[in-house]
Amino acid sequence: MARGYNQAELLADVVARDLGVSCRRRAIRRTRPTLPQSRLGGVGPRARNVRDAFAPRSRGLSGATILIVDDVLSTGATLSQCALALRQGGAGTVTGAVVAR
């Protein structure tokens, strides 16, 4: 499924610039298509939708401290699965920051 405008990526660029760090947009990859979370109701359907949907692009994250920037947090399912993929790729600390809840 094609995705449209990625406001979270734009936010991450601004946060990275303000913190003086690099923005690694491609640290993880989507392993399969998923429905937009906004189309699903409740914790269960959203968690199932993104379960195992992300994987690290490489294992080159050894010990890295990573901040995931997202625009909206509803149930936390996507953020959790992205963090899991980053940890599987070797990241040391993974933290999430969101603009709206």
Q: What is the pLDDT of residue 80?
A: 96
Q: Is residue 22 assigned to a domain?
A: yes
Domain presence at residue 1: no
Asked if residue 25 is part of any domain, the answer here is: yes
How, if at all, do strands 65-72 and 93-100 pair? parallel
Closest CA to 36 of 24, 53, 13, 23: 53
Q: Is residue 2 part of a domain?
A: no
pLDDT of residue 38: 85
Residues of the chain with pLDDT > 70, as a percent, come to: 95
pLDDT in tens, 19-39: 999 998 889 999 999 998 888
Encode burial over 76-98: b for 16+ CB neighbours within 10 A, e otherwise: bbbbbbbbbbbeebebeebebeb
> Does 16 reside within a domain?
yes
Pairing mode of beta strands 54-56, 28-30: antiparallel
**pTM, entire model:** 0.87
3-state secondary structure of 99: strand
Provide the residue range defining the domain that includes 79: 7-31+42-100
pLDDT the model gives residue 3: 57
Number of domains in the chain: 1
